[in-house]
Structure 1
Amino acid sequence: MLAKLGPLDPDSITDLRPYLDTVPDPRSPRGRRHPLTCILLVCACATISGAKSIDELAEWGQRAHPTLLAALGARPHPLAWRRSPSAPTIDRVLARIDGDALDAAIGAYLADQHQATAEATESEDTPRRPAIALDGKALKGSARLGQRCRHLLSAITHHRPITLAQTEVGAKTGETRHCRPLLRDLDLAGCVVTFDALHTVKDHLSWLAGTKKAHYIAVIKTNQPLAHQQISGLPWSQATIAHTRSETGHGRVESRSIKVMAIADSLGGIAFPHAKLAIRVHRRRRQRGKKQTRETVYALTSLDAHQATPAELAAYLRGQWAIENSSHHIRDVTFAEDACTVHAGNAPRALAALRNLANGVLHTLRADNIAKTTRAIRDLPERALPFFGISYEPDPSGT
């Protein structure tokens, strides 16, 4: 799998260390052995090598050669078991680390990496405007008696999914009030922001289109019964199908057709800020051995007819739905996020940020199979360093 990625030249990949240097160290100056950046680099390298727990993060460092640890900033020590951060040290650091600062550092790093490789990864199916999906995810393994599982809200790019920003929310119902703070520091001018019906809030739509100069595609469901009734009541039978697409995989056949209709500034007295087009997507899915299912989804967008074709609008909506497979599924299956029972302090969020980092880096380098790539890195610790722009020269003596 590494051969498919081609030679990894650390000089052509952004160095992660300056970004991690911006994260404040939560430890007391007295008794520190390894710099915080070194500990985070060990965790990052171990995660991209497939480590799934605190113990496995520490074990990666124990397997690493002393010269490799020195390249990461570890202090030398005659005792082998003290050359790398121990599991208790990593556990305490991640539990006390500033989650906002760590997410900001990793988000900035991935954004720069994404920008540097965006042109190389574009394809004919990529819409003209960049798109960002807003989506939440629960960390199921972090639940304890009397304590609900942690819930995160993330901003993720559609093409080659990269987590640009992440924050912790109290529960899924708390996602809405964290929407603006999450997106506030991102440059969204000209971008298309997609989200599910939970975030279809008029104040947010007005803020996105007016203040951030972004476009939106807002799904309308029955949680807004009057708006859903107005949009579903438009004369869709008179509109022609503007675009269709069929896909086959995983034992199912799925086809989608889209209709687009220009609207006025209000629908039956319900104003949606900057809305220009109404969208109707009809999906048919046939699973092997099961009956065919059908679903109709309605949405509004601030994009005008000359700013996006029906095919591009369909791609934006498909990109929102695809985040589940391209990000959440990988974190749960390849990196065993839901199975991770770490729950103390900020450690669950910090581990999620490290998984976002590993997933994002591998996607920017166009790894087709994340699981196989992590297994190819796992056996030799030095293979992980070039992925983060760190040069390493093995000790020729082998000692």
Structure 2
Amino acid sequence: MCRQSVTVCLIKSPVLAGVAGLSLVERLRLLPDPRRRRGVRHPFVAVLLVAGSAVVTGARSYAAIGQWSANAPQHTLARLGARVVGALGVRVAPSAATIRRVIGLACPGGLADLTGADPAGSDAVAVDGKAARGSRHGTTGAAHLLAAMTGDGRTVTQLRVPDKTNEITCFTALPAPYDLTGITVTADALHTQRAHVRFLVEEQKAHYLLRVKSNQPELHHRLRALPWKTPAATTARPATAAERPA
């Protein structure tokens, strides 16, 4: 369907049409289960819903998510689609180890695409990257995520920047599946690149607002030379009868 690697997430979902009208459960069902069929006990979507519910209630670690899962009542597990065991229909919650393993295997790009907001109708979309807090593990560096958000704070999608590159190589892959016609895309000075501008204007039919700093010395110098402090504001007047075309 989409990006299958947790560390290299550059291939976006080819088709997202119709996703906006689906519920969260229906969206998650479109995400491929990365596990092998043999030995699977807990439904893939149920594990994701349990983890998401735990995070919404305040869980900030896999241990906390596992504790929430173990303490969840039967009616909650039933609504989340947890595994049924025995003739009495007892719901069994996934363990912390199972949740960690499933989330680690799930395609992060596909998950972000399917649960993100459609930018259609928005005035602006902001693109920015940040290192994920708490994602550093041993000698492995922190995960650097590049995300797109609408002007009213809704997350459109995100992807993980590969460790041996930077945000520039991921910029065009991030919004590629979405219709950005007429939307203003904003980003910091790192993305003030000719290729990015061409992609936004020629392919996405979008507008752009990019910062210019000293990393673009020639462009920065030319912009600073403009008379910013003495702009001339004019107001168009109606044409007179003599000026109107016959």
1:89-117: CA deviation from partner (whole Å, max 9, x where unpaired): 0011111112222122112xx33xx87xx
Helix, strand or coil: the match of 1:67? helix
CA distance in 2, matches of 1:136, 1:228: 23
1:225 lines up with 2:217 in the alignment: yes
**What TM-score comes out, normalization by structure 2 length?**
0.78
Equivalent position of 2:198 in the other structure: 206
Aligned to 1:330: none
Q: In structure 2, which of residues 59, 69, 85 is the aligned counterpart of residue 61 of structure 1?
A: 69
Verify: 1:185 aligned to 2:177, yes or no. Answer: yes
Alpha-carbon separation, structure 2, partners of 1:234 and 1:104: 41
**Once the 2 structures are TM-superposed, how far is the Cα of residue 237 of structure 1 from its aligned partner?**
2.4
| Whole-Å separation in 1 of the counterparts to 2:164 and 2:217 | 20
Give the conservation status (yes or no) of the 8 Å contact 2:127–2:146.
yes
- Cα deviation, 1:353-396, whole Å, max 9, x if unaligned, reads xxxxxxxxxxxxxxxxxxxxxxxxxxxxxxxxxxxxxxxxxxxx
Q: Superposed, which structure 2 residues align to 1:1-399 within 5 Å? A: 15-77=23-85, 83-107=92-116, 110-111=117-118, 130-159=123-152, 161-171=153-163, 174-239=166-231
Over 3 Å counting, the alpha-carbon distance change for 1:216 and 1:201 in structure 2 is same
Distance 1:81 1:200, change over 3 A: farther
1:250 matched residue in structure 2: none
1:266-313 deviation line (CA, Å, top 9, x unaligned):
xxxxxxxxxxxxxxxxxxxxxxxxxxxxxxxxxxxxxxxxxxxxxxxx
Given residue 88 of structure 1, which amino acid in structure 2 is its aligned partner? Answer: A
Higher strand share: 1
CA positional deviation for 1:14: 5.9
Q: Which structure has more RCO (C-alpha within 8 Å, separation ≥ 6)?
A: 1
1:31 shift after superposition: 2.0
Contact 1:66–1:76 at 8 Å: present in 2 too? no
**CA separation in 1, counterparts of 2:158 and 2:80?**
26
Quick check: 2:74–2:90 contact (8 Å CA) kept in 1? no
Cα shift at 1:231 = 0.3
Q: What is the distance in 2 between the residues matched to 1:147 and 1:28?
A: 26
CA contact (8 A) 1:156 1:162 kept: yes
Q: Normalization by structure 1: what TM-score?
A: 0.49
AA aligned opposite 2:147: S
- The CA deviation string for residues 143-196 of structure 1, in whole angstroms up to 9 with x for no partner, is 24432211010111121x111111111359610111111111011001110000
Percent identical among aligned pairs is 39
User: Relative to structure 2, which stretch is displaced further, 47-56 or 172-181?
Assistant: 172-181
Shift of 1:197: 0.4
RMSD (CA atoms): 2.5
Is the contact between residue 134 and residue 193 of structure 1 (CA under 8 Å) also seen in structure 2?
A: yes
Q: Which residue of 1 aligns with 2:8?
A: none
Tell me the number of residue pairs that the alignment of Structure 1 and Structure 2 aligns.
212
Q: What amino acid maps onto 1:70 in structure 2?
A: A
The one-letter code of the counterpart of 2:68 is: W
State whether residues 151 and 172 of structure 1, in contact with CA within 8 Å, keep that contact through their aligned partners in structure 2. no
Aligned counterparts of 1:68 and 1:163: Cα–Cα separation in 2: 27
- On the 8 A contact 1:21/1:37 being kept in 2, the answer is yes
* Equivalent-residue separation in structure 2 for 1:196 and 1:137 (angstroms): 12
Query: Matched residues in 1 for 2:40 and 2:138: separation?
Result: 34
Compared CA separation, residues 147 and 80, structure 1 to 2 (3 A): farther
1:232, distance to aligned residue in structure 2 (A): 0.9
Residues 173 and 229 of structure 1: CA distance in aligned 2, closer, same or farther (over 3 Å): farther
Rate the CA distance shift 1:62–1:81 in 2: closer, same or farther, 3 A: farther
Change (3 A) 1:144 1:30: closer
1:34, 1:73 within 8 Å by CA — same for their partners in 2? no
Residue identity in the other structure for 1:22: L
> Aligned letter for 2:108?
G
Q: Contact (CA 8 Å) 1:133, 1:193: kept in 2 or not?
A: yes
Give a deviation string over 1:114-138, Cα, whole Å, max 9, x none. Answer: 87xx8xxxxxxxxxx6100010010
Q: Contact (CA 8 Å) 2:74, 2:91: kept in 1 or not? A: no
